[in-house]
Structure 1
Amino acid sequence: MTNVQHRPAYLLHALVARLDVAADEMLRRGHDVSYAKFLVLLAVERLGTPTQRELAAEQQVSDPAMSRTVAALAADGLLDVRTVPGNGHRRALGLTPRGRRLVEEGSDLLESAFAGLAEIAGVPADVLSRPVQAMIRALDELAGASA
């Protein structure tokens, strides 16, 4: 019987889980924000001015869960929340200047830490990026084919 812990799928999951924990610790220590909330801010930056519902779908969480996250980020001065005129309770989201700064600084922090880890491991980050991007594209294609 093959030891599961040496299989690539297990190893990748283990790596990602450990990277998520490390990212959470770095962001909490350096910017007082969780990695989960940081990912929401990154999604808002990428999407432009999404509605709360669009953001919930993007992050694959329920509308009530996203509502709580949005409220917390707005209370922290990181998200601007505006009611969309004529659309009931729909709310458009955007980064505040403080939110933009956090996304930039947090991204730099995580990228620098990852590059340092890759260097210690003897794997240049740019070399690692190519197969990872190829796998992400393949997953996107598979998801598109099953939709």
Structure 2
Amino acid sequence: MCDGYATHNGELAIGRNLKVAFMPWKGYNFEDAIILSERVVREDLFTSLHIAEHVVSVRETKRGSEELTADIPNISENATKDLDENGMIRVGAHAKTGDILIGKITPKGESDPTPEEKLLRAILEKAGDVKDASLKQNHLTKVL
């Protein structure tokens, strides 16, 4: 097999060779710098795009059904400001570590509600006791 621009020793070699300079300041080990060409920065040569798919399932539990929502109890309005009415983070939002990507609530309680309690909650439009089961971000990113 012959080697070409994208192969090396029969293996796919995707990437670029780049010369960089590591320059300590006056011989000290702090305030170091890695020097790159301005062209590398200007032409955005080493920018990458990372896509992650998150799957959230909504199930029917013994206590009731789970729900995707932006109305999550005991969570500040600031924490849910980027969520739409369905609990999904809006496109273009910047998510930091710990931000909610998908708002989800799950019913909780010690015992199954009686049919009368279910009817009363349905009439009063109360969700009952729910807990936050939202999908949260684990690193800094921009939602595409």
Alignment TM class, shorter chain as reference = under 0.3
Higher gyration radius (CA):
2
TM-score by length of structure 2 reads 0.22
TM-score by length of structure 1 reads 0.22
- Between structures 1 and 2, the one with greater strand share: 2
